[in-house]
Amino acid sequence: MGQTSIEKILARTSGKDVVRPGDIAVCRPDIVVQADLFLAMAGAWHRPKKVFDPDRIVQIFDHAIPAPTIKDASGMVEARRFAKQFGLKQVFDIGAHGISHVIVAEHGLARPGELLVCSDSHTCASGAFNCAGRGIGLSDLLQALTKGLVWYPVSPTIRYEFKGSLPPVVSGKDVFFHIAHTYGAHTNTSLEFGGPGLKALDMSARRTIATMCAEVGAEFALFESDEITSDYLKSRSERPVTPANPDKDADYLDVRSVDLGDVEPYVILPHSVPKNGVRLSVFDKNIVINQAFVGSCANGQIEDLRVVAKILQGRKVARDVRFIITPGSQAIYLQAAREGLLTTLVEAGAVVTNATCGACYGGHMGLVGPGEVCITASTRNFKGRMGSAEADIYMGSPATVAASAVTGIITDPRKVMPLNA
């Protein structure tokens, strides 16, 4: 019997020919990413006395940069000391910073067929590049940094076969919502994405979908590697790669077909994602919003900013709505400036912030207060996620959020087409 994409990577990195669901794979990572957050957390960081391979360790500051508290600043002093002590070469400190999964993508650090370790739950983002990654904890990270080892239970895999292509205005985010709403939680299963419709999903859409798979409780979420993958990596990584595409006779828990042409814009209702969505075409509630947010590892990409700017062009953010937009990295910020997007966004009355995890996790800025309503194109809508536990967080695509920011109520973006279209 053949193997799925994820089984192939876990087998190779654990030195086995084959792994099967139920096994525990003890793997050697190809790359380990350290972020800032845990260094500011009491009792969490024990200084490593040795590291497994400084050339395979990447340090990225994202959750609290620039530092909002002395504790965060102090954590980053320790992070810089650690990087110097072991001669880390791949350090993305302030000025070169961005959300870790975005920096990883931009610099070609998530490579097909490889295993990436990072202590953030949205590490499944690397699956867009056929690179295995899943969230781990700080103690896992310490073990990976020092011993170069990390364990994973091998889970059964569900395969999604895409066909067709996306209708206008419908995005990768809506594709994820469609899957999450239709099939619900995917606890302790890995996901694999392929099929003839894959070519209709650009890298931006794939990155959004892979990143969001954490929200349905998936283990790994891997896209097959194709020409779009290799084109994206061409200018970003020189190291030859060996994609881990599945065998024809791989064993799946289930194979599900998704016709992209059937996907519509969704809104996800407050407090959880699985089976909690409504197609906007039948959403009949009049939900007045106080805040709109576009950003995070899922939707802080340049493509997301372009979508938002297109809708805001020549319009104003509604009265009493705060529209916060966070580019995913310094490079995206610069690109948005070059394309004139920042001008459009600011002229419309939106706030464009520094590149950080920031408002998405309610840890840095842009928090919501009691009784407020936010619609967000980020990763999570848990109670209290973006500030007050008394706030309601709805989720939508960047287009849905931008359309809602303009009207002041949750709005189907197809009703607010660009003025210059």
389 lies in the site for another protein, by CB under 8 A: yes
Stretch that binds another protein, among 36-44, 198-206, 245-253, 369-377 (CB under 8 A): 36-44
Closest CA relative to residue 353, chosen from 65, 92, 38, 125: 65
- Give the residue carrying structure tokens 């840890």: 363
**Residue 107, amino acid:** H
CB of 383 to another protein, least distance (A): 5
Stretch that binds another protein, among 11-19, 74-82, 99-107, 109-117 (CB under 8 A): 74-82
CA distances from 180 to 86, 160, 184, 267, 268 (A): 42, 12, 5, 12, 10
137 lies in the site for another protein, by CB under 8 A: yes
- Give the residue carrying structure tokens 């020409």: 227
Q: Report 253-282 residues binding another protein (CB under 8 A).
A: 272, 274
CA-CA-CA-CA torsion for 277, 280, 286, 291, nearest 10 degrees?
70
75 lies in the site for another protein, by CB under 8 A: yes
Beta bridge partners of 161: 194, 257
Beta bridge partners of 278: 267
**Beta strand ranges found along 99-249 (DSSP E):** 116-118, 150-153, 157-163, 190-194, 221-223
Backbone dihedral region for residue 387 (phi beyond 0: left; psi -120 to 50: alpha; all else: beta): left
42 lies in the site for another protein, by CB under 8 A: yes
CB of 113 to another protein, least distance (A): 22
Q: Is the dihedral of CA 124, 126, 132, 137 positive or negative?
A: negative
287 lies in the site for another protein, by CB under 8 A: no
156 lies in the site for another protein, by CB under 8 A: no
| Choice between 39 and 228, CB closer to another protein | 39
40 lies in the site for another protein, by CB under 8 A: yes
Candidate list 12, 28, 159, 385; residue touching another protein; CB under 8 A? 385
Candidate list 43, 95, 240, 370; residue touching another protein; CB under 8 A? 43
370 lies in the site for another protein, by CB under 8 A: no
| Choice between 180 and 308, CB closer to another protein | 180
69 lies in the site for another protein, by CB under 8 A: yes
Q: Is the dihedral of CA 174, 245, 137, 53 positive or negative?
A: negative
Q: How many residues bind another protein (CB under 8 A)?
A: 57
Candidate list 90, 146, 242, 290; residue touching another protein; CB under 8 A? 146
234 lies in the site for another protein, by CB under 8 A: no
Candidate list 2, 18, 55, 74; residue touching another protein; CB under 8 A? 74
Burial of 262 (0-12, 13-18, 19+ CB in 10 A): exposed
Closest CA relative to residue 131, chosen from 37, 19, 232, 38: 232
13 lies in the site for another protein, by CB under 8 A: no
- Give residues in contact with another protein (CB under 8 A): 24, 26, 37, 39-50, 69-72, 74-75, 78, 119-121, 134-140, 142-143, 146-147, 151, 153, 155, 185, 187-188, 214-215, 217, 219, 272, 274, 361-363, 380, 382-385, 389
